[in-house]
A and B are shown apart, each in its own frame.
Chain A
Amino acid sequence: MRNRGSWVTLGTAAAVVAAVLGLGFIVQRTTLRAPSQATLAAIRSATWLERYRLVDSTITLDDGRVLRGRCLQDWVVQGGRRRRGAVLRLDDGYTLLAVPPHTLSATGGTAATQAMSPLVLMELAGCPRVLARRLQTLAQERRGLTLGRDTLAFSLKGTSLTLRLAPHTGAPVGVALVSPTVRGASRIRFTPVTTQLRQLLGVSSR
């Protein structure tokens, strides 16, 4: 008899716990909005971009020029202080150093490349932090993201960007850009960072 009472107690407790679990889930499921597929795609893309700090790119501009680029997000020593920044190198000799909030210096390259906006070049080169930050902000605010078939469109400071996404992983594999002054597209590849690569790009290793 006492044994049966214990089973009744345990069974009732289990029913109460199951009811809380089930009702809690149903209430949340029916009242809260689920994130859109575009938001989830943006978060996945940003995660890929944050995972890799080095991106190799092949950029094709609408004037027919083709540039190969390499963009590294890393710690950069400036005035004795380490700051997060980006170094972009193009195969025409152009080098861009961008260290927020105050440093943006470009050297080398052809006159046509020098005339382009540094932001446009960084976006086309797939500089990870620039793209990831924007995607994260738009995902958090649930606005400004348009998901197509393996593409994700958004805007960044006057430029319209479309990321091409790998079908199964959602990793960004290309960028298409339209700005008031230039159009272009690029293929991007994530590359593991090595000490040698960092030295090649002029970032001191530590």
Chain B
Amino acid sequence: MATLEHAGSVPLDLRRADESARRLPVLAWVGGWWVAGRAIIIATAVVVHRVGPAGWIRLVSHAHALGPLGAWDARWYRMVASNGYVLIPGRQSDPAFFPLYPIMLRGGHALGFGYTTTGLVLSNVGFLGALLAFYALTRALFGESMARRASAYLAVFPFGYAFSMVYPESIVLGLIALAALAALRRRWGWAAVCAASAALARPEGLFVALPLAVLAWDQRHLLSPRARGVALGAVIAPIAAIGSFSLYLGSAIGDPMAWSQAERAWGRAFSPLGFVHAIDGFGSAFARDAWVTRDVVAVVLYLVLIAAAARAGVSWPWLLSSLAIVVLPLFSGSFDSIGRFGLLAPAAFWGLAALGRDPRVHRLIIGVSLPLLAAAIVMLPLQFP
């Protein structure tokens, strides 16, 4: 018996040691890029706090050394966390902000931390988790070198400063990657939890349902009837999570569609012709505020990157869900904030990683991203992300 145990434990130990040895460089790689990106953001935010333009965020910027990272929509998330929701018809109000992130802020506050401090820790530590999950997903789909490049580019992507703000993007990206990873490993219960949580944090979380649906279909012959049911449930889970938000709003403030109504006050009313209005209205939008150019450039960039991902062989469900994340907001008639929304489109970063196979392009991507990331923080007081 002792011999058998001994015989069994050696390969297991070896496997574990091998696994740990493999994990260490990965952690160093991903952690290193995370530190690099976040260090640039935090250092620039401190500089902006001290000497930078105060712009529209004067009060927040001066309240805290990392004040610029707690500006703009962060105020809304803090408001939901401290007071819950109310819908004020015709005025910008907080049901436009999904509940998971404010619930997490509330959790930190219950432990004695401020809302902004909790948000900064959650978003930045959450982004490290998101990078690791994204690395693991990319590695499972495309191999080691793609995973390394994609996670490095994501860590220093110029619009990625939103991952360090008191915004839910880093948490959502992590949940999307974990949902897909769990589905790939046939852990459909976890896939359901992560997909539902992603949708409860931002509406873009809904689009992970498409890759999950295709994975569930591909695995249908390998799963028991019960496991197939869990997989089907995981595909529908994001919709059910948004349904639970509607149910809650209906019970708390008497309007289940309050989140959609609140979006309208931000000028986001979805219509089939919204895309045409967005293009058509670009001239007047530019005359009002030239910053819209930034988001138009972001749309074009994301579309080019998704096209590069298609050329590199990324599967159609990921392409379609990433396209939906970038293109659907245009149907609300506005380009606003698409640079930030696109951060949740994994195919864009796979496209970038495919382009980065060429060492010169790789150096160019890193060389351009780092200064742009710092510049984005400098500009933060002047324009919302």
Name the contact of A139 in the complex, choosing from B86, B236, B244 (C-beta under 8 A).
B86
Q: Are B236 and A13 in contact (CB under 8 A)?
A: yes
**Nearest 3 A/B pairs, CB to CB:** A16-B233, A12-B229, A24-B244
22 of the cross-chain contacts (CB-CB < 8 Å) are A10-B229, A10-B232, A12-B229, A12-B232, A16-B229, A16-B232, A16-B237, A17-B237, A18-B240, A21-B244, A24-B244, A24-B245, A31-B107, A32-B80, A32-B84, A32-B252, A35-B86, A43-B88, A47-B89, A136-B88, A139-B86, A140-B94
Chain A residues near B22: list those with CB within 8 A: none
Grouping DSSP codes into helix (H, G, I), strand (E, B) and loop, the A interface class, with mixed when no group exceeds half, is: helix
B34 at the interface (CB under 8 A from A): no
Q: How many residues of B contact A (CB 8 A)?
A: 43
In the complex, which residues 107-158 of chain A have their Cβ closer than 8 Å to any Cβ of chain B? 136, 139-140, 142
Q: Are A27 and B103 in contact (CB under 8 A)?
A: yes
A33 at the interface (CB under 8 A from B): yes
A202 at the interface (CB under 8 A from B): no
- Contacts between the two chains (Cβ within 8 Å), count: 126
Chain B residues near A139: list those with CB within 8 A: 86, 88
A88 at the interface (CB under 8 A from B): no
Q: A9-B225, A25-B248, A139-B88 are in contact. List 9 more A-B contacts (CB 8 A).
A: A9-B229, A10-B232, A13-B229, A17-B233, A17-B236, A24-B243, A28-B245, A32-B248, A136-B88
In the complex, which residues 82-96 of chain B have their Cβ closer than 8 Å to any Cβ of chain A? 82-91, 93-94
Grouping DSSP codes into helix (H, G, I), strand (E, B) and loop, the B interface class, with mixed when no group exceeds half, is: helix
Most buried by A among B85, B233, B237, B243: B233
Q: Across the interface, name the chain B residue whose C-beta is closest to A22.
A: B244
Chain B residues near A50: list those with CB within 8 A: 89-90
Chain B residues near A28: list those with CB within 8 A: 99, 103, 244-245, 248
Chain B residues near A22: list those with CB within 8 A: 244
A15 at the interface (CB under 8 A from B): yes
A193 at the interface (CB under 8 A from B): no
B273 at the interface (CB under 8 A from A): no
A167 at the interface (CB under 8 A from B): no
Chain B residues near A10: list those with CB within 8 A: 229, 232
Q: Are B233 and A12 in contact (CB under 8 A)?
A: yes
Q: Are A43 and B252 in contact (CB under 8 A)?
A: no
Q: Across the interface, name the chain B residue whose C-beta is closest to A10.
A: B229
Q: Are A9 and B232 in contact (CB under 8 A)?
A: yes
Q: Are A43 and B87 in contact (CB under 8 A)?
A: yes
Q: Across the interface, name the chain B residue whose C-beta is closest to A8.
A: B225
A32 and B226 in contact (CB under 8 A), knowing A20-B237, A139-B86? no
B306 at the interface (CB under 8 A from A): no
Chain B residues near A4: list those with CB within 8 A: 225
